[in-house]
Homo-oligomer: A and B are copies of this chain.
Amino acid sequence: MADQITKRSVNYSQWYNDLVVKADLAEQSPVRGCMVIKPYGYAIWEKMQRVLDAKFKETGAQNAYFPLFIPKSFFSREAEHVAGFAKECAVVTHHRLMNDPEGKGVVVDPSSKLEEELIVRPTSETIIWSTYKNWIKSWRDLPIMCNQWANVVRWEMRTRLFLRTAEFLWQEGHTAHATSEEAQAEARTMVEVYADFARNYMAMPVIVGHKSPNERFAGALDTLTIEAMMQDGKALQAGTSHFLGQNFAKSFDVQYADKEGKLQYVWATSWGVSTRLMGALVMAHGDDNGLVLPPELAPIEVVMVPIYKTEEEHSAIIAKMNQVKSALEAAGHSVKIDDRDTLRPGFKFAEWELKGVPVRLAIGGRDLQNGTVEVHRRDTLEKTTISIDGVDKFIEDLLVAIQKNIYAKAMAFRDSRIQKCDSWEEFKEKIQQGYFLLCHWDGTAETEQKIKDETKATIRCIPVDSVVCKEEGVDIYSGKPSHERVVFAISY
């Protein structure tokens, strides 16, 4: 099973693609750049959704749904936004097909041309702010905090499953506030929700920081990001939260009457994570045997494989397994007994390893006699044989330990690949080796661009609340003065 997967050391990128396909997470569809998310992959996404959705609601956000299509003219309203988003997109121009007069299937009916073209949403700020205009009259109507789970389309030329696809699934929160301070606090709250999710559910360490002006969302005054390190040392932007100022309120003329009756433009944020998180999850923890899923997001936390010679043994083993399964399910865990009779245990072991199930139990004839069970953990590939009495409690603790260990391992790896750097020669060398480098930067887009041109490295973020980074120094490239270090890396 694992031999169908390229080893990470041979070709990390191919390893990723192999793994996504072989572990049944997703595959290319017949439509350019669009993927099919398969049931096993979608089950992980659903677990992510459940956790995030509850967290959003705790902050006061409510779900809603806005149209898939956006009139072309809306994109002309916010100048930066159109430059950033409206360029590569899916454009609907007609609304009817007809039988080909020459009898060759169906063709577009030229008489069905739309007066104004519709854009399949690449993001929904414009359509949502045009709606908020009707919802907001007075300070009493604020704040508004809506989130939507939706599909969006960006016409990417080079696509990779989950990481960059033409259509992807995401959530986008759009909030409206009376003051700048409140909106900025909201943007900060949400990036912390994402960071908490990344760390405690995805078991993935992330750095929270501001994007440099150059890397901001089109139309934002500030973009907060969580940046994760993949096993090749590259950075992956895993979620962003934007303070949009009054840009969209002004573009769509959204004003509220304050307590004194004076009209004020509304302050905005937007924030989102996407199915890209699936790619991050695969790349952060997977190994040459397949996926390694943190228990918090594993569709199946425990799989059980019976090993038997006789029908009698089989019945006795399955009965035992059902007991353990019931106990674990009662404690809220998802358990599967793999009782397929057409496959050998070794094949099943490899398959569930490939699929990253955190814990595997096997019970054989000898275990039956001895009252034991073999427990295998996916993260370390360690096996132990323990007494079947109390195995459910043992597994519950083990799942907690695995979740922690996966995080600790990723953290240790990142620690080994992150360092301060003050030498341009060292920078060029280490950045190619896959390091996050904490460097001084003079704050200009010019220097940022030169560094990118020479090394492909970009400023991933300017960390928030970092005691490590707040120090005086000189820009690693230009030598100009700098007051704090920023994170440079090559990114996905």
- Which A positions have Cβ atoms within 8 angstroms of B? 27, 29-31, 34-39, 42-43, 45-46, 62-76, 82, 86-98, 105-106, 108, 112, 117-120, 127, 130-131, 134, 140, 146, 150-151, 153, 155, 167, 169, 342
Q: How distant is the Cα of A69 from the Cα of B76 in the complex, in angstroms? A: 25
A87: chain B residues within 8 A (beta carbon): 96-98
Q: Which of B35, B39, B108, B151 contacts A146 (CB 8 A)?
A: B39
Asked if A68 and B151 sit within 8 Å, CB to CB, the answer is yes
Question: What's the Cα separation between A92 and B91 when bound, in Å?
Answer: 5
Inter-chain contact A34/B120, CB cutoff 8 Å: no
Q: Report the Cα distance A68→B35, complex, angstroms.
A: 10
Shortest beta-carbon distance from A133 to chain B in Å: 10
Going nearest first, the 5 A-B pairs with the smallest beta carbon separation are A76-B105, A39-B62, A34-B67, A37-B65, A91-B94
- Least CB distance from A185 to B in Å reads 21
Closest CB in chain B relative to A85 CB, distance in Å:
9
Instruction: Flag if A86 contacts B106 (CB, 8 Å).
Output: yes
Cross-chain pairs A/B with CB under 8 angstroms, 12 sampled: A29-B67, A29-B131, A34-B67, A35-B67, A36-B65, A39-B64, A42-B63, A43-B63, A68-B153, A86-B97, A96-B155, A151-B151
A30 to B36 alpha-carbon distance, docked (Å): 31
**Which residues from B are CB-within-8-Å of A35?**
67
Let me know if A96 and B106 touch, CB within 8 A: no
**Contacting pair A92 B120 (CB below 8 A):** yes
Take A37-B65, A64-B37, A67-B29 as given contacts and tell me if A90 and B95 are in contact as well, using a CB distance cutoff of 8 Å: yes
Q: Is the CB of B105 within 8 A of A73?
A: yes
* Neighbouring B residues of A90 by C-beta, 8 Å: 69, 92, 95, 118
Q: A62 contacts which of B43, B95, B134, B342 (Cβ < 8 Å)?
A: B43
B95→A92 contact, CB < 8 A: no
A64 to B112 Cα, complex, angstroms: 33
- Given A93-B108, A106-B75, A342-B140, CB of A39 within 8 Å of CB of B66: no
Whether the Cβ atoms of A64 and B36 lie closer than 8 Å is yes
Which of B36, B43, B70, B98 interacts with A66 by CB under 8 Å?
B36
* A146 to chain B: closest residue by CB: B39
CB distance from A57 to the nearest CB of B (A): 10
Contact across chains for A68 and B29 when beta carbons are under 8 A apart:
no
Knowing A39-B146, A65-B42, A106-B72 are in contact, say whether A130-B93 is a contact too (CB < 8 A): no
Could you say which of B37, B95, B106 contacts A82, with CB atoms under 8 Å apart? B106
Rounded to whole Å, the gap between the CB of A150 and the closest CB of chain B is 8
Chain B residues with Cβ below 8 Å from A97 are 72, 75, 82, 86-87, 89, 91, 119
Residues of B within 8 A of A69 (CB): 31, 34, 90, 167
User: What residues of B have a CB within 8 angstroms of the CB of A42 in the complex?
Assistant: 62-65
Interfacial chain B residues near A119, Cβ < 8 Å: 97
Residue of B nearest to A145 (CB): B39
Closest to A30 in B: B130
Q: Which residue of B lies closest to A91 (CB)?
A: B94
Chain B residues near A96 (CB-CB < 8 A) = 87-89, 91, 155
**In contact, B127 and A30 (Cβ under 8 angstroms):** yes
Which B-chain residue is minimally distant from A26 (CB atoms)? B65
